[in-house]
Structure 1
């Protein structure tokens, strides 16, 4: 928890300020403890030390010698007199009680000692100390002189200068550390507007928020570059493949007879329409305007197999009859149909299966065709990738069938895998999570 906090901008700024403050305090304390410039003690120690010393000395002296000692001890801020019935002041405060406790602890036989404040505005600016001494009362009136105004000495100025320089330096470093990755992100984004090709990903540096922004930018850059690349490849593939039917149509019009030209033109137009429809299907993947709902995948696959079997295909469904998945029905039907058509195009016998395995729905479409070279199993799921035999056997194919299946499965939170069978054939597997409502 603490590690995560200190990886954020707030945590790092807090740590920097705390460390600089501790360092400043340590140096400040070291400078003020310098022997050549001791600090002034706080209240009430200066006054209490003087009064306790005078009272203890007078207590031990002879009565005849006390007047001379009292005269020598008096200063501008403290007067001493003996009185039989002194007139006590009326002020009391926490400071006078603190002084009273200290004097009682440091003056012999002074349990009845009293400290009173004599200033109407502040009870401790001028205070009175009454000390019982040999049947009389020693009255001491003094001014509070401790806690003098701060002196601008060299140690103080040095500590203050270090504080300012330290805070400025640490703050500058902190701001620079945060701004540097943001500047790189800005430069990378500006460069990406001029060239959408995927370049080196932005390094994940700085606080947690900046690293998240850089990671999001890298993902966005990769997606946009992939989007542009796939669309460019699509246009190139369609442009290339449309040349053949367009050339044939031109030749038919120029050299063909009218009675044979019509069916050939219709065949080429159908071929071109198939290519265009495949490209448009890949662009939408059938997901844009369709809402999700619960679908019996077993019933769907069984129905598809029956429909293809009625056309003469050798296909069967061996899976369960009741497997419910939350998905987009039309898109899922299209993905399964593409896999079945692909299997029927290259194999004589096709087996479709569906089971629930490890909290996943596993759909399998197997054929006995030639399979796919092992080094190209992952490549064929990319858009516009076609094997040479496929182009010859399936006119109108632009290499988007498996790409569309992979896109639909990925949008449902699943994955598509291809695997060669032994001794021959291909096995295509779709894995969908049972918690598909969140991923769909």
Structure 2
């Protein structure tokens, strides 16, 4: 619950909910706790009769008051009496409250007025009205006040429903106007972070949201331009370097085989490999390859056979035939990097694959020295090398695992490294199982 109210949607709903509650509380207070007397007709009829009698008695000598009271008695359910110590009734309702207000208003607040019901079972009956008359009090008994007036009348109820509906409609509109552009910005930012594909965001919504969208569009343009410039520069460097390297290799092939010649050929091959690794790292995820259905079993089997032909012991195990919607060249490049890394330090390599309902998993395990536990995450960073962990590794650029990690992330998955017992390392690629209708573009 706390996490929900920490979001913008939760905070907006909290503000609207609190303001609505305060509004209805104020409205209810105005309805049920009025400042002045209620409007006619109720309870002005008994008010006029009692107030008129009180005004007459105020100007009448005490000796004549009983006669006036006797003349004022009626059969309309209203009875009068004078008493110095009358019994006091205590039950109060909205009826008694309103009658007391109207009497005080009519009498100008000059005399003490008290109204209560003497019938606890039915507070509308046996209403006692006490008005001070000097040393005595006028007691007026009302047999039945009738039904309590309705405060939630149809117009009032309609006004409250209209108010509530207006608040709900305006709240939905306000939330949609603020939240929808933010969600769109978040979606575009996430897609741009995965694919580095320029997708302008619609600049709509409040002023602040439009400014954020405009800034994000500018940022995307700058990053895309820088990435394109970097790719063009590296492509040019690659071309300029590979041309003289090719000439050098051709010249060496025309010379007599010597130890120096073999060393130079290895150095040239190493330079070509480093250039290819750097370009592959730059182009990962943006090389234009289209996704398609791939027979993963056939790909891995063919790859392992090629390594076996080269004298590297690689075995493949799979519980069932596997197919995957992916970029085949990218996945093959990732597996090649993992097997190449393992072949440098290990004498036995095992590749395993299996699928769950949502994931495809591929593991490349070796019997090499492994990697220190504290460096398992750091080795996936670009250009990071740990020669101490793999003594025989020579000439790597520190990009192999970075490329694998980027390819896995491109396919909605991850790369995990963990040491085996008693020795060895396992690299696990987790890929999301996606179809042609998947919202994530590969």
Please state which band the TM-score falls in when normalised by the shorter chain: 0.3 to 0.5
Select the structure of larger CA radius of gyration: 1
Query: Could you say which structure has the greater relative contact order, defined with CA pairs below 8 angstroms and 6 or more residues apart?
Result: 1
- TM-score w.r.t. the length of structure 1 is 0.47
- TM-score w.r.t. the length of structure 2 is 0.46
